[in-house]
């Protein structure tokens, strides 16, 4: 039976992309991000849903006043990255779900290229655009799945002693031609597109991950369901990194390592020989706790040095 003219009209006006943004005390960055989206309004059809996570810097008022064409969902508590995006997920009407950080700037052409690429490749479940640092240099935003060896070197004193170690290079996919479209393990949640084909399979971010590693998890689940995860370098977005998380660094360190342990527990430890799983879990938990503790101590020492140097 053929659909009514009303049904056909609804299909025609369905946006290509549903862009969801979570913001916490990042008013200026959010303004710049939304302005970059407004500037590319005619490239392709998209909607924008902003979840304002109970900020204290006037982000919600700014968004409502300066960008009335975008949907604003103001919260009375901080739902975190995962909770905020999952809330917005329930409101989207577009074909492809595009969680985007508030500390990003979307370059002209990026959205159109993403929408076209998704349409031409229905077997792809997740798309990650090329991310650039604020100075225009490459940000390693597509990676191989994490492993304990890489964790030993990544952002640690061992990494400083051995900056060219193979484990970090492999994890960051430094061997990859970052100008080529490539199938990868996972892409950064700062700008991650979950396609219409994959949405029913992966549904949303796992709410167990308050923030951090939710991107690794959703890509893992997409692979398990038979979808490709692809890095799309022709679509460029600037990502300023950590503009909200830097406001509470020690809390973020704890949450990152907690999420990493959750990821290992959920996806990697079940692959270990059953009798060894408790020991592997305890070893991973101890190593991650020690790593987090070192970072927290370093932050506090740096804060003390800054205090007494004034």
* Structure-token match 């949405």, residue found: 199
55 versus 275: the higher-pLDDT residue is 55
Q: What pLDDT shows up at residue 292?
A: 72
Q: What pLDDT shows up at residue 169?
A: 76
Is the distance from CB of 71 to CB of 49 less than 8 angstroms? Answer: yes
Reported as a single tens digit per residue, the pLDDT across 93-131 is 999 999 999 999 999 999 999 999 999 999 999 999 999
Q: What pLDDT shows up at residue 158?
A: 57
In angstroms, rounded to a whole number, what is the distance separating the alpha carbons of residues 140 and 154? Answer: 13
Reported as a single tens digit per residue, the pLDDT across 207-252 is 998 878 899 999 999 999 999 999 999 999 999 975 555 556 777 7
Reported as a single tens digit per residue, the pLDDT across 283-307 is 877 777 777 777 777 777 776 666 6
Domain 5-140+178-246 belongs to what topology?
Spore Coat Polysaccharide Biosynthesis Protein SpsA; Chain A (3.90.550)
Name the token pair of 277.
Answer: 């799983």
71-82 burial: b if 16+ Cβ within 10 Å, else e: bbbebeebbbbb
Q: What pLDDT shows up at residue 9?
A: 42
Beta strands 138-139; 142-143: pairing state: unpaired
Could you tell me how many residues make up the chain? 310
Is the distance from CB of 216 to CB of 146 less than 8 angstroms? Answer: yes
Reported as a single tens digit per residue, the pLDDT across 142-171 is 999 887 666 555 556 555 665 677 767 777
Distance of CA 125 to the CA centre of its chain: 15
Domain ranges of the chain: 5-140+178-246, 248-309
**Contacts with 206 (C-beta within 8 Å, 6 or more apart), sequence order:** 82, 214, 217, 218, 266
Mean pLDDT of all residues belonging to the chain: 86
pTM equals 0.84
Q: What pLDDT shows up at residue 10?
A: 44
Coil, strand, or helix at residue 15? coil
Q: What pLDDT shows up at residue 289?
A: 75
Is the distance from CB of 139 to CB of 132 less than 8 angstroms? Answer: yes
**Contacts with 1 (C-beta within 8 Å, 6 or more apart), sequence order:** none
* Structure-token match 């985007």, residue found: 100
């Amino acid at each position: 039976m053929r659909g009514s003219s009303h049904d056909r009209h609804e299909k025609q006006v369905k946006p290509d992309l549903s862009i969801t943004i979570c913001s916490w005390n990042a008013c200026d960055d959010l303004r710049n991000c939304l302005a970059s989206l407004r500037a590319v309004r005619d490239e392709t059809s998209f909607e924008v849903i902003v979840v304002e996570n109970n900020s204290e810097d006037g982000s919600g008022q700014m968004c409502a006043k300066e960008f009335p064409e975008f949907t604003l969902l103001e919260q009375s508590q901080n739902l975190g990255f995962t909770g905020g995006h999952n809330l917005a997920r329930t409101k989207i009407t577009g074909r492809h779900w595009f969680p985007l950080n508030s500390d990003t700037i979307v370059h002209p052409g990026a959205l159109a290229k993403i929408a076209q690429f998704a349409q031409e490749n229905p077997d792809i479940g997740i798309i990650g655009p090329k991310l650039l640092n604020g100075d225009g240099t490459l940000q390693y935003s597509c990676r191989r799945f994490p492993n304990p060896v890489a964790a030993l070197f990544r952002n640690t004193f061992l990494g400083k002693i051995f900056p060219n170690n193979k484990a970090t290079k492999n994890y960051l996919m430094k061997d990859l031609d970052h100008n080529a479209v490539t199938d990868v393990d996972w892409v950064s949640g700062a700008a991650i597109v979950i396609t219409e084909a994959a949405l029913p399979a992966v549904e949303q971010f796992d709410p167990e991950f308050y923030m951090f590693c939710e991107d690794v998890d959703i890509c893992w689940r997409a692979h398990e369901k038979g979808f490709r995860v692809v890095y799309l370098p022709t679509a460029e977005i600037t990502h300023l990194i950590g503009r909200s998380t830097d406001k509470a660094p020690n809390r973020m360190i704890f949450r990152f390592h907690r999420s990493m342990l959750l990821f290992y527990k959920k996806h990697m430890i079940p692959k270990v020989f059953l009798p060894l799983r408790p020991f592997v879990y305890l070893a991973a938990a101890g190593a991650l706790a020690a790593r987090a503790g070192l970072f927290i101590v370093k932050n506090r020492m740096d804060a003390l040095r800054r205090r007494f140097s004034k």
